[in-house]
Every structure is written in structure tokens, then in C-alpha cells.
Amino acid sequence: MSSVPVLRNYIHGEFAASAEVHDVLNPATGAVLARSPLSSQQEVDRAIAAARAAQKGWARKPAIERAGHLRRIAAKLRENVPGLAHTITEEQGKIAGLAEVEVNFTADYLDYMAEWVRRLEGEIITSDRPDENIFLFRKPLGVVAGNTIVIKPSEETPINCHLFTKLLAQTDLPPGVFNVVYGTGATGGALSGACRRGHGQLHRQRGHRQPHYGRGGRQHHQAQPRARRQGAADIKIMRKEIFGPVLPVQVVDGLDEAIALTNDCEYGLTSSIYTRDLSKALHAIREIDFGETTGV
């Protein structure tokens, strides 16, 4: 019987074991996939200190050099798509095809962000005062822009982050630029508190699942399909993010009502409209106040 792998934090370019760990479960079978650290406040503080210590040296590197690091990490991801995708499926339940898309998209996104170093330009602004020039320098956020990071992945899906970190460690990224601490919400709270005190940014991955109980109280790890009818349009399920296999459906009288209901939401990441009418698709894309709207 194969042993269960134990994940380790990644701080200042080195993997470090933690005193406490918890089990990471396969959501479909309940099998233990790995044991992940429950990082202490001291470990969080060490990761933040490593990121802060590395920041100035990282920011002083030419932007094109920082971009090169991202491209090398992207290449590592593309070399390991099957293994990473398999892990995502095992610990998260995503189907294999979409898991591979996720890995490839991540590599593409790293390359995309690396290209931005050539697109960020400053300005020279005419001043109202004589003999004065105003120079505008754009300093965006992000690793390619010179920032260092500490990541706290979801305690329920940390293995893909661990594999990503192992690949990253095979590159020549300077120590302290990228750090990982694992743990539950308590670790996230310690990290966010330290970020608030130090005016840093919090990079945190989310994940959530709950067991399903079938007949006789027996626990299952797969949600069973079911339909439930609701009447009011303002029920929570239509207005909140649902981290689970739930598809709320609302019957409307027309496209304008659908757009109004869509915009009546505090979230607005992505949306899609399915139609054969191109004009309706373009109308929805213009009117829906989301970051991204796709016509299908």
C-alpha cells in the first residue's frame, strides 16, 4: 500500500515541514489523498518576512527579466499537463477535460501577463508651471510588476498548488518571490491580518464542499441530482455564489427582464447568453454589467 504524501510549506525557496497536518480527501470516494500543513502564526510570519525581504531585489530586476521567469514557469506547466489535471480531478472533482483546460489556461495566462511588461508605458505631461515636466510612471500590481507573494490555497484542494510549487522550484525564480503556506481559515486570518498591518495583498484560493447523506443516513461524497421549485425571484439561490453542483433557473418574459435580473446581483465575474440571434447576443454583452459576457 502506497504511503500518503505529506505536503510542505514553501518559504524563501525551501520546503519546510509543519508540526500539524490534516487529511485532504477525494470528494468522490473519501479516500485520503495527502496530508497538508496547518500552518502556525510563526510560519505565516516567516513567509511574509521572506516575501518582504525579496521584494526590493525582485523589483530592481528589469521587467523583461521578470517576464522571463513567468515564461519558464508556464513552460513547466505545459510539460506536466496530464499529472496536474489528474490531481485537480482527484481532489476537486472537475472532469478530466476541463482540468486539462485549466492547466493550459494557467500557462497561457502566465505568458499573457509576461507580455504586459512591453505594454506598460509612462507619460510626460505638460505642466502649468514654467520649466517643469511631469513624469507619470505606471506601477501595476503583480509578480511581473515587481511584487512578491504569499499564497494560502484552500485546505480542501491544496495538492495542485503543491505540484505547481514543485515545478516552480525547478526554475531559477529567486527565493522569497513566491511563498506558500497551507492551512484552514485560521491560517488565512493570520495571513490577511499580517497583510493589513503591512499594507500587502492577500492571495487566497477558495474551495468548499460538504458530504451528502443518502437513505439511512449513509454518507456519500457525490451530490444526487434533484429539482426544487421556488417562486420568488429574490430568493438567495438566485443572488448568491453557490460553490456546488446547483443550477438555478428563472423563467422571464423577455431578454430585458433577464438582463435586469442578471444585473441585480452584487457579483459580476462572468456571464453567458445562449442564443442564435446575434443582435440579441451583442445587446446582452453591452447591457450586462459583468466583467465578461460570452455569447454562445
The whole-number pLDDT of residue 220 equals 53
Contacts of 166 (CB under 8 A, 6+ apart): none
d(CA 114, CA 72) in angstroms, rounded, equals: 10
Q: What's the predicted TM-score (pTM) here?
A: 0.71
d(CA 281, CA 287) in angstroms, rounded, equals: 10
Strand-pair partners of 34 = 24
How would you write the pLDDT of the chain (296 residues) with one tens digit per residue?
Answer: 468 999 999 999 999 999 999 999 998 889 999 999 999 999 999 999 999 999 989 988 988 999 999 999 999 999 999 999 999 999 998 999 999 999 999 999 999 999 987 777 778 888 888 887 777 766 656 666 678 999 999 999 999 999 999 999 999 999 999 999 999 988 888 888 776 555 455 544 554 444 444 444 445 566 666 777 766 555 777 777 777 777 788 889 999 999 998 888 887 888 888 999 988 988 888 888 887 777 76
The whole-number pLDDT of residue 1 equals 45
Q: DSSP H helical segments within 27-95, as ranges?
A: 41-60, 63-79, 81-92
The whole-number pLDDT of residue 215 equals 46
The whole-number pLDDT of residue 285 equals 86
Contacts of 77 (CB under 8 A, 6+ apart): 84, 103, 104, 106, 107, 110, 164, 167
CATH topology of domain 9-197: Aldehyde Dehydrogenase; Chain A, domain 1 (3.40.605)
In angstroms, what CA-CA distances link 77 with 12, 36, 80, 105, 224? Answer: 21, 22, 5, 10, 34
- Other C-beta atoms within 10 Å of 1: how many? 3
pLDDT digits (tens, 9 = 90+) for 58-68: 988 988 999 99
DSSP letter for 51, please: H
Q: How many residues make up the chain in this entry?
A: 296
d(CA 104, CA 112) in angstroms, rounded, equals: 12
The whole-number pLDDT of residue 190 equals 85
Residue boundaries of the structural domains of the chain: 9-197, 228-295
DSSP letter for 223, please: P
HSE, side-chain direction, 13 A CA sphere, residue 117: 20
In angstroms, what CA-CA distances link 39 with 79, 109, 164, 259? Answer: 30, 29, 19, 44
Strand-pair partners of 212 = 220
First to last CA, the chain: 47
The whole-number pLDDT of residue 52 equals 92
